[in-house]
């Protein structure tokens, strides 16, 4: 079912449930119930406009000034198991991690990455970082987390440094990144590692109800969102040669196969592979 239809059904369903509740409140029930019902069309219109405004996944690529040569067809690409964490955003603005959503999304993203790389005629070499609990390879992965956090901060406008412009993209994990290449089971010598991380929240039914009332009253209630980033690391140098941040549109729900495929397509659109 199209995302717009899903959101419309959610909005109208919530409206039908809220109206009887307000009608039972004696001092404002009749007045507010009638007013709320007349406002429902305007609320629906506003919600649909907000949906259309964010209907597409947006991606923001950062690329090193000097790119290495694209790997030849048949080259192995080391792909770390996607690190995905999804949560429920409640009416009280608390987040409740949902392991089922996270596992489903990770599996869907992994399958979509595999299909995308095979379409580019590369071999998909999966490595599970959960099995790397010690040693230098684990240290490299922890270093990548810190570098990725810095990229998001300084290359996506969150922070500034006097010695670095926002369009400067020069990040590295150092030669220790070769430790990741040694994780290959077949030892065929992958030249690149692709690391993918996703975080996101999905609004609960109670938060949808709050958002509809808030829209009618002119208040904005954040409904959560999902973001995925991917980085391509040249293993021989440790240089992060490409990085992309994708903010998922409502139709690109990574908990579904189709949504994950669309999200990965946007995420890897300009990857130099």
Report pLDDT for 197: 94
Query: Do 32 and 165 sit in the same domain of this protein?
Result: no
Is 64 found in the same domain as 44? no
Percent of the chain's residues with pLDDT above 90:
31
Query: How many domains does the structure of the chain reveal?
Result: 2
Distances (CA, A) of 246 to 34, 77, 226, 262, 269: 42, 21, 9, 11, 11
Would the pLDDT of 41 be above 50?
A: no
d(CA 148, CA 116): 22
CB 239 within 8 A of CB 172: yes
The answer on 158 and 64 residing in a single domain is yes
Task: Based on the fold, state whether residues 28 and 113 are members of the same structural domain.
Answer: no
> Are 26 and 70 within one domain?
no
Pairwise CA distance, residues 14 & 21, whole Å? 11
pLDDT in tens, 56-65: 566 677 777 6
98/126 same-domain check: yes
Q: What is the pTM of this model?
A: 0.74
Residue 6 lies in a domain: yes
Q: Where are the beta strands (DSSP E) in 82-212?
A: 83-89, 95-97, 123-127, 171-172, 192-203
SS3 156: coil
Average pLDDT for the chain? 77
Q: Is the pLDDT of residue 207 over 70?
A: yes
Q: Do 95 and 2 sit in the same domain of this protein?
A: no
**Pair 89, 161 in one domain:** yes
In a shared domain, residues 78 and 102: yes
The more confident residue out of 111 and 170 is 111
Enclosing domain of residue 22: 1-53
Q: How far apart are CA 209 and CA 218, in angstroms?
A: 14
Sign of the CA dihedral running 138, 270, 64, 117: positive
pLDDT band at 23 (very low <50, low <70, confident <90, very high): very low
The pLDDT, as a whole number, for residue 165 is 63
Same domain? 126 vs 143 = yes
Structural domain contains residue 192: yes
pLDDT, tens only, 210-222: 777 777 777 777 7
How do residues 157-200 score in pLDDT, each as one tens digit?
A: 766 666 666 567 889 999 888 888 777 655 567 889 999 999 99
CATH of the domain at 192: 3.30.160
Residue 164 lies in a domain: yes
Classify residue 212: in a domain, yes or no.
Answer: no
> Is residue 247 domain-resident?
yes
Residue 217 lies in a domain: no
The residue with greater pLDDT, 241 or 65, is 241
Residue 121 lies in a domain: yes
- With 90 as the cut, is the pLDDT of residue 228 above it? yes
Beta strand extents in the chain (DSSP E only): 58-63, 76-80, 83-89, 95-97, 123-127, 171-172, 192-203, 226-234, 239-247
Residues 170 and 44 in one domain: no
Residue 272 lies in a domain: no
- The whole-number average pLDDT for the span 123-141 is 81
| pLDDT for residue 92 is more than 90 | no
Whether 184 and 76 have beta carbons less than 8 Å apart is answered as: yes
pLDDT at residue 262 tops 50: yes
Spatial CB neighbours of 54, under 8 Å, sequence gap ≥ 6: 249, 250
How do beta strands 58-63 and 192-203 pair?
unpaired
Extract the tokens encoding 30: 């009749």
Both 105 and 42 in one domain: the answer is: no
Q: Which of 31, 53, 75 is the last residue of a domain?
A: 53
Quote the Cα angle for 55-244-189, to 5°. Answer: 135
């Amino acid at each position: 079912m199209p995302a717009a239809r899903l959101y419309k059904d959610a909005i109208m369903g919530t409206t039908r449930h809220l109206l009887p509740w307000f009608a039972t409140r004696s001092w404002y029930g009749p007045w507010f119930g009638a007013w709320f019902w007349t406002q429902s069309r305007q609320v629906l219109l506003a919600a649909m406009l907000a949906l259309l405004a964010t209907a597409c996944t947006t991606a923001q690529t950062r690329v090193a000034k000097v790119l290495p040569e694209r790997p030849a067809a048949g080259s192995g690409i080391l792909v770390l198991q996607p690190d995905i964490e999804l949560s429920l955003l409640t009416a009280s603005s608390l987040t409740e991690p949902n392991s089922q959503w996270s596992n489903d999304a990770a599996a869907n993203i992994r399958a979509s990455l595999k299909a995308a790389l095979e379409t580019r005629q590369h071999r998909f070499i999966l490595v599970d970082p959960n099995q790397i609990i010690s040693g230098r390879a684990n240290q490299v992965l922890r270093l990548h987390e810190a570098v990725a956090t810095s990229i998001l901060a300084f290359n996506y406008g969150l922070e500034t440094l006097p010695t670095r412009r926002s369009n400067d993209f020069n990040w590295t994990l150092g030669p220790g990144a070769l430790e990741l290449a040694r994780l290959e089971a077949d030892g065929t010598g992958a030249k690149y590692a692709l690391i993918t991380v996703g975080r996101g929240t999905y609004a609960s039914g109670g938060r949808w109800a709050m958002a509809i009332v808030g829209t009618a009253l002119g208040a904005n209630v954040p409904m959560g969102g999902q973001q995925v980033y991917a980085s391509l690391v040249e293993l021989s140098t440790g240089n992060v040669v490409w990085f992309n941040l994708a903010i998922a549109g409502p139709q690109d729900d990574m908990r579904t196969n189709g949504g994950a495929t669309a999200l990965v397509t946007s995420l890897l659109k300009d990857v130099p592979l």
